[in-house]
Amino acid sequence: MFGRRASKGRGGAPAGEDGSDGGDGRDGGDARGAGGVAPAGGSPERKQPDTAAPRAAVPVRRGPGRSVRALVALTALAGMVAFAVVLARLTLEASPASVPLTHSNLTPGRSIEAYLGRPAFVDTVKQLGGNILLGVPFGILLPLLSRKARGFLRVALLTAATMLLVELVQGALVTGRAFDIDDVLLNTTGALLGYVTVGRRLGRAVHPRTRPRWWQRRRRARTSA
């Protein structure tokens, strides 16, 4: 009688020769924690893998849809064409009566100094202010045409190149007109004013930057290394 009670393990299964109850052996394996030592409470202590928390993704700013951007670009292109027509009428129209008064200027600042030295203030404002206002549409329309035309330096270079071409045509082909480097400088100044005040914000709204700048990428690479 005593032998029968001792021979039964847990759940009625026969016990092994070493006195352990008969089961599938999982109790002994589960009782061993990390390093084969079970904790005092009886529950296994499993070592969790040391994984770093994933870095939060940088939110990507999304602008308007492709159709809206195309419509804005077409509108800006139409505005640029209209401005080119106005510019041609203002700068490429012959003026035979002005032939004795015209002379070329290759020295930066020479014509500006002459304008400032005139006694008639209205005439000075008309000459200087008119040339500055003539470049403002470049600073507003160029950032709307394309993301690649955005930026302080790019707007300045594109405006200067366009106005330099206009001045060359004036001096070579148009009667009563002369090449003036100061006109290029004033037009470029107007373009930069238009870009800083209006064009930059419009360009960012229509063509937002979808990737960080180069110095931001380098800083992120240093922090993640």
End-to-end CA distance of the chain: 73
Residue pointed to by tokens 């994984």: 51
Domain membership of residue 78 (yes or no) is yes
Domain of residue 123: give its range.
66-209
Domain membership of residue 2 (yes or no) is no
Query: Strand, helix or coil at 7?
Result: helix
Segment among 51-60, 61-70, 168-177 with least mean pLDDT:
51-60
Distance CA 1, CA 9 (A): 15
Burial tier of 31 (Cβ tally within 10 Å: 0-12, 13-18, 19+)? middle
Average pLDDT value over all residues in the chain: 75
Domain membership of residue 50 (yes or no) is no
Residue 214 has pLDDT above 80, yes or no: no
CA 100 distance to own-chain centroid = 50
Domain membership of residue 215 (yes or no) is no
Residue 160 confidence (pLDDT) = 94
Distance CA 83, CA 138 (A): 9
Domain membership of residue 27 (yes or no) is no
Domain count, the chain: 1
Domain membership of residue 26 (yes or no) is no
pTM of the full structure? 0.64
